[in-house]
């Protein structure tokens, strides 16, 4: 076989089968993986979560991961935020003619490794090839099915005055890592993405308390955007304590140089969690035991005042309104 992806690989014939066998089937092998038009899954009755996400990140490789790892984490985390154990994934690829096969291998390997860690099976897929210049390298859409835990009833609508606002780690890493990976600013800083599959983390939180009101992953738009959405959906105010928001030194350095606010930089392995204040310490203690949330912290609380607004208490005690998110900070972050 040639060492790049060709249009024939996308034609649905012999070459498509060969590509599927040599790359995808080789990595994704599991008893539910299908070569037919659809995977057949035996399910028990109950509540399933169903979610889809397209990944077009540029560059497709970055410190801390690649588009394959990201595409699994994104959908696993969307299911996890619902309190749903990720069970099955379907993956759809659009690949540019001429894409290196060894890079496709690396992407598939990262997908399988991440899926294994999250305990989810890749069971169905699709491969399309577009001509040179018709798609930028590679796009992946992953769609997931998960099973909701009985105790899980979380939503952006369920934040309540008196809730503590927890973030599961230092923020803005993914956005910062992508920014630097594009080499447009001539800044040399050692920032890795926080991209990680968080089902294990969420499960441990639910084992700690069943009073989790909101769990959201702070992806596009970052923690600031997610908090504004929750404030809006729940008709509550959110008050943040600037000093308590964990930001890695290298991230805040880059943000300082470029005039960016880490609260609006995407994370791909950080959750925003709302629980009653009384449960907050137990949840944070649990998070500190988990591999991707060693820096978890309570960063604020929910108020009945100022519904729909996010207010920041600064280090010198002033209260300022966090600016409403909007516009396009950085395209193709995920």
Q: Give residues 123-162 in contact with a copy of itself (rule: CB under 8 A).
A: 123-131, 133-136, 139, 141, 143-146, 148, 155-156
Contacts to a copy of itself from residues 47-66, by CB under 8 A: 47-56, 58
Contacts to a copy of itself from residues 69-88, by CB under 8 A: 78-79, 81-82, 84, 88
b/e burial code for range 117-156 (CB count within 10 A of at least 16 → b): bbebbbbbbebebbeeeebebbbbbbbbbbbbbeebebbb
For residue 22, the tally of other CB atoms under 10 A from its CB is 15
Residue 84 beta carbon to a copy of itself: minimum distance, rounded to whole angstroms: 7
Residue 170 beta carbon to a copy of itself: minimum distance, rounded to whole angstroms: 20
Contacts to a copy of itself from residues 281-320, by CB under 8 A: none
Pick from 45, 315, 316, 318: which binds a copy of itself (CB under 8 A)? 45
Residue closer to a copy of itself by CB (options 17, 314) is 17
Residue 142 beta carbon to a copy of itself: minimum distance, rounded to whole angstroms: 9
Pick from 5, 72, 73, 91: which binds a copy of itself (CB under 8 A)? 91
One symbol per residue from 224 to 263: x for binding a copy of itself (CB under 8 A), - otherwise; what is it? -x--------------------------------------
Interface with a copy of itself, residue 1, by CB under 8 A: no
Interface with a copy of itself, residue 31, by CB under 8 A: no
Helix, strand, or coil (residue 322): coil
b/e burial code for range 268-290 (CB count within 10 A of at least 16 → b): bbbbbbbbbeebbeebbebbeeb
Residue closer to a copy of itself by CB (options 18, 281) is 18
> Do 84 and 74 form a contact (C-beta atoms < 8 A)?
no
From 141, 98, 118, 269, select the one nearest 194 (Cα to Cα): 269
| 162 sits in which H/E element | none
> Do 138 and 99 form a contact (C-beta atoms < 8 A)?
yes
Contacts to a copy of itself from residues 188-217, by CB under 8 A: 216-217
Helix, strand, or coil (residue 45): coil
> Do 89 and 142 form a contact (C-beta atoms < 8 A)?
yes
From 176, 202, 144, 332, select the one nearest 267 (Cα to Cα): 176
Residue closer to a copy of itself by CB (options 202, 240) is 202
Residue closer to a copy of itself by CB (options 13, 100) is 13
Q: Segment contacting a copy of itself (CB under 8 A): 31-39, 183-191, 254-262, 312-320?
A: 31-39
């Amino acid at each position: 076989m040639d060492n790049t992806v060709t249009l024939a690989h996308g034609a649905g014939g012999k070459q498509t089968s060969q590509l599927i066998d040599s790359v995808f089937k080789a990595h994704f092998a599991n008893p539910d993986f299908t070569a037919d038009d659809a995977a057949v899954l035996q399910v028990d009755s109950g509540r399933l979560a169903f979610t889809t996400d397209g990944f077009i990140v540029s560059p497709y490789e970055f410190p801390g991961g690649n588009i394959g790892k990201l595409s699994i984490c994104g959908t696993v985390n969307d299911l996890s935020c619902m309190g749903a154990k990720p069970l099955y994934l379907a993956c759809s690829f659009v690949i540019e003619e001429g894409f290196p096969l060894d890079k496709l291998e690396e992407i598939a390997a990262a997908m399988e490794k991440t899926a294994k860690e999250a305990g989810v099976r890749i069971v169905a897929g699709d491969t399309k090839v577009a001509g040179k210049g018709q798609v930028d390298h590679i796009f992946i859409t992953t769609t997931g099915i998960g099973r909701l835990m009985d105790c899980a009833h979380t939503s952006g609508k369920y934040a309540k005055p008196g809730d503590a606002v927890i973030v599961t780690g230092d923020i803005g890493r993914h956005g910062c890592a992508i920014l630097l990976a594009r080499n447009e600013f001539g800044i040399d800083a050692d920032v890795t993405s926080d991209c990680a599959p968080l089902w294990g983390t969420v499960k441990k939180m639910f084992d700690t308390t069943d009073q989790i009101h909101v769990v959201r992953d702070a992806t596009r738009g970052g923690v600031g955007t997610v908090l504004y959405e929750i404030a809006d959906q729940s008709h509550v105010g959110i008050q943040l304590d600037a000093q308590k928001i964990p930001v890695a030194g290298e991230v805040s350095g880059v943000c300082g140089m470029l005039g960016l606010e880490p609260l609006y930089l995407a994370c791909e392995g950080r959750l925003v969690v709302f629980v009653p204040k009384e449960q907050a310490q137990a949840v944070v203690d649990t998070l500190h035991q988990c591999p991707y949330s060693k820096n978890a912290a309570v960063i604020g609380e929910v108020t009945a005042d100022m519904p729909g607004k996010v207010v920041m208490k600064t280090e010198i005690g002033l209260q300022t309104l966090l600016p409403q998110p909007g516009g396009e900070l950085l395209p193709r972050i995920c």
